[in-house]
Amino acid sequence: MRFQILHRSPGRIRLRACVKRMEAEQADLLEAWLLAQPEVDRVSVQENICSVTVVYHGSELCITQRLAAFSYAGAASSLPPLHHSSRAMNQEYKEKLVFMVLRHYLKKWFLPTPLRIAIGVGQSMPRIFCAVKTLLAGRLTVEVLDGTAIGVSQLTGDFATAASVQFLLRLGETLEEWTHKRSVENLARSMSLQVDAVWKLEEDGRQTLAPLASVKPGDLVMVHTGHVLPLDGILESGEVMLNQASLTGESVPVAKRPGAAVYAGSVVEEGNCVLRVTSAAGENRYDRIVRMIEDSERLKSGVEQQAAHLADKLVPWCLGGSLLTWVLTRNVARAVSVLMVDFSCALKLSMPLSVLSAMREAGNRKITVKGGKFLERISQADTVIFDKTGTLTKACPTVIRVVPFQGQPEAEMLRLAACLEEHFPHSVANAVVRAAHARGLDHEEMHSEVEYVVAHGIATRVDGKRTVIGSYHFVFEDEAARILPEDRQRFESLEQGCSWLYLAADGILAAAIGILDPLRPEAEEALAALHAAGIEKTVMLTGDNQNTAAAIAAVLGVDEYRAEVLPEDKATYIQNEQAAGRTVVMIGDGINDTPALSLADVGIAVGSGATIAREVADVVIAAEDLRELAFLKTLSDALMRRIRQNYHFVMGFNGGLILLGALGVLPPALSALLHNSSTLLLSMHSLTNLLEESKEIRREDP
């Protein structure tokens, strides 16, 4: 496929596809294909003008060569099926709005007055009946205001005003419906599984790593402790404890046995299982997430809910003001002018739009926020707690040394360690697996069922011997492993500049694996930025020894640290901080961080961390840069400011319209026009970027 370069700048290129037209499905495919390229950071495809904007790192030549080789057929075969794009929905609503406006004005300009009045009265009946029904039910809502305004205008012969009000209400409702659907779909997609491959169980019993898109109903998939169920299915074998919080909200894991139906998105907290797949990737989980969001208040922050409740409470006052105006002036037009204005539309529409805008800006920075209420809590936060390993340190630790004992071959010990570690989503486990791969060591399954002990290590049986790998505490204290006398000196000479994993077989130390996990280069700057953004207290919690923790804390400049902590210690620390009246944000990446992530006011997971951590967390940062935390805090503060500004504007402007209508300065039609125009303009403003930095990132080139 050919592309024409329209503009280029360092790290950014804008092109036009040399085609006559681009369908929504084709635009989705092109965007998904580009995002799958390793050099690409962000993509924007506008199918109406066949425009493609790519933000990338690395060489521009690499991007242009890839685009030159692009084809829709090739992309479709290399990508999993694309579902739930909002592009087609957006096009549908744009067409609906254009048709609505054209129909209104064509009817106004070309139809004779009697026919236009008859159509207007017929179209208003459902709204008037709804108002009567609501009133008979003993409720005063904005529907009563709308129906009363239209009905009174028609009874007094002001059919033009009634038609204008009816049109503006339909326009506002369509925009609100579009906004709601788009926000739900965007959030559901961000919460969908990010699983690319699964362990597929072949007919001969071997496990192979297969792309998720290749798995079909009826296939058997192996799921280990700490991993998410990638698909719906039936448990074929294995008893497990499933965390279903992301689907049902239940915080307590549920026991599942063979024959039980299980669903994608549940996380295996204990045990391993074989799953017989019953559905294709993505569909059922996505639909359940949409229903969950629609049935809950996850999108709404506390400020949003307060504004919505206030809007409903103001309805009786608007009705009373209209009645009082009529009693005092005996002027129906003035009374209707008051009815034309309500606070509900602007408050209920602009607040969610502001949250949607903030979530979109966060998404542009590869930050997934699972609800507006979490942005509000981040704005209120005064304490940020960090796990160390994989969070403050680089997400990719490296094996720098393998020390065998008992005269064992070094390569064989690394092979055995990789065999145990390959099933568990932790940065240290990944380091061991990478080290074995780099040395060309094949580590096929040679063990029985694996037991994962959170924050400690792994235990299994190899050749009938109990084999364990993990921390000093786990191997030597919990498992009571021994060091042979002839290995004692070598063990004591292990260097202290790195962390050590210990491998023991049949109760005797077999190897020690040195892991170097340097601090993230931006960690110190990120902590300083958080302080500058208003965070009062930063804390580091780590399982490292006191000396190592003290040295790292001094380098980073954290306000407080705790060493040699277990997962339950992290949770206890957070509870103590909350009891002291602090709003706590917890940042972690591992399975052992999930209790703390759940207890914190806001749990933030690093995207490269364990699946269960990403599932439990309220926010996921995929970008490998801790400075995004300060951006998130600044964005949350800006969102709360905008919501407060919107609230003050709505109350002041609409209050002024009511006063001018009651005084006879504004006729009903003009009151309705100004009210609805201000609502639309405020909504459009609410969709603009909250931070100037984001404007620079997203700005189109001239």
Confidence of residue 179 (pLDDT cuts 50, 70, 90): low
> Which distant-in-sequence residues (6+ apart) come within 8 Å of 522 by Cβ?
625, 626, 627
Q: pLDDT (tens digit, 9 = 90+) per residue, 321-375?
A: 888 888 888 877 777 777 767 666 677 677 777 887 888 788 778 788 877 788 8
Predicted pLDDT at 91? 80
Q: What is the pTM of this model?
A: 0.64
3-state SS assignment for residue 256: strand
DSSP letter (8 states) at residue 688: S
Q: Is-contact 387 587, C-beta < 8 A?
A: yes
Residues 177-208: b if buried by 16+ CB within 10 A, e if exposed: ebbbbbbbbbbbbbbbbebeebbbbeeeeebe
pLDDT of 314 = 73
Rounded distance between C-alpha atoms, residue 191 and residue 656, angstroms: 42
Domain 3-79 has CATH 3.30.1360.30: no
Residue of 429, 377, 382, 385 whose CA lies nearest to 569 = 385
Residue type (1 letter), 95 = E
Residue-wise pLDDT tens digits, 414-426: 999 988 887 676 6
Tell me the CA distances in angstroms from 580 to 321, 382, 435, 584, 587, one per residue in order. 46, 12, 45, 11, 20
Residue 548 CB coordination number (10 Å): 18
pLDDT tops 60 at residue 190: no
CA separation for the pair 574, 671 (Å, rounded): 52
For residue 82, what are its two tokens?
A: 């694309």
Fold equal for 368-393+519-622 and 398-516:
no
Q: How confident is the model at residue 700 (pLDDT cuts 50, 70, 90)?
A: very low
* DSSP code, position 236: E
pLDDT at 684 over 90: no
pLDDT in tens, 611-648: 667 777 888 887 678 899 999 999 999 999 998 888 88
CB count in 10 Å sphere of residue 228? 21
Helix (H) or strand (E) holding 587: strand 584-588
Q: pLDDT tens across 89-108, in order?
A: 888 888 888 898 898 888 88
DSSP string, 314-343: THHHHHHHHHHHHHHH--HHHHHHHHT--S
Between 496 and 385, the more confident residue is 385
- Look at residue 134 and tell me whether its pLDDT is greater than 90: no
* Cα distance between residue 469 and residue 471, in whole Å: 7
pLDDT of 698 above 60: no
Tell the CATH topology of 197-281: 2.70.150
Average pLDDT over residues 152-173: 78
Type of residue found at 113: T
Q: Considering only 30-44, 113-127, 274-288, 630-644, which range has the smallest mean pLDDT?
A: 274-288
User: Which numeric CATH code is attached to 398-516?
Assistant: 3.40.1110.10
79-83, 175-179, 640-644, range with the lowest pLDDT: 79-83
- Which amino acid is located at 545 in the chain? N
Beta bridge partners of 460: 467
Reported as a pLDDT band with limits 50, 70 and 90, residue 666 is confident
Distant-in-sequence, close-in-space partners of 78: CB < 8 Å, separation ≥ 6: 33, 36
| pLDDT above 70 (res 175) | yes
pLDDT value of residue 247: 58
In 3D space, the residue among 193, 272, 278, 175 whose CA is nearest the CA of residue 226 turns out to be 272
How many Å separate Cα 215 from the centre of its chain?
A: 25
| 411, 500, 509 from 488: Cα distances, Å | 21, 16, 10
pLDDT at residue number 694: 45
Q: How far apart are CA 294 and CA 184, in angstroms?
A: 7
Return the HEC string of 195-231: CCEEEEECCCCCEEEEEHHHCCCCCEEEECCCCECCC
End-to-end CA distance of the chain: 25
CATH topology of domain 368-393+519-622: Rossmann fold (3.40.50)
Q: What percent of the chain has pLDDT over 90?
A: 18
Q: What is the pLDDT of residue 49?
A: 87
Instruction: Give residue limits of the domains in the chain.
Output: 3-79, 91-183+299-354+636-688, 197-281, 368-393+519-622, 398-516
Q: Residue 540 pairs with which residues in a beta bridge?
A: 386, 561
Residues in the chain: 702
The DSSP bridge partners found for residue 45 are: 52
Side-chain-side CA neighbours of 180 within 13 Å: the count stands at: 15
Q: What integer best gives the mean pLDDT of the chain? A: 81
Tokens representing 130 are 């709804």
Q: 426-469 pLDDT, tens per residue?
A: 667 888 988 998 888 876 666 556 777 655 688 888 888 899 99
Structure tokens at 76: 């479709």
Q: pLDDT by residue (tens digit) across 213-242?
A: 678 888 899 888 777 787 888 999 988 888
Give the pairing type, strands 560-562 and 261-262. Answer: unpaired
Q: Which residues touch 171 (CB under 8 Å, ≥6 apart)?
A: 97, 100, 101, 676, 680
More confident residue, 467 or 58: 467
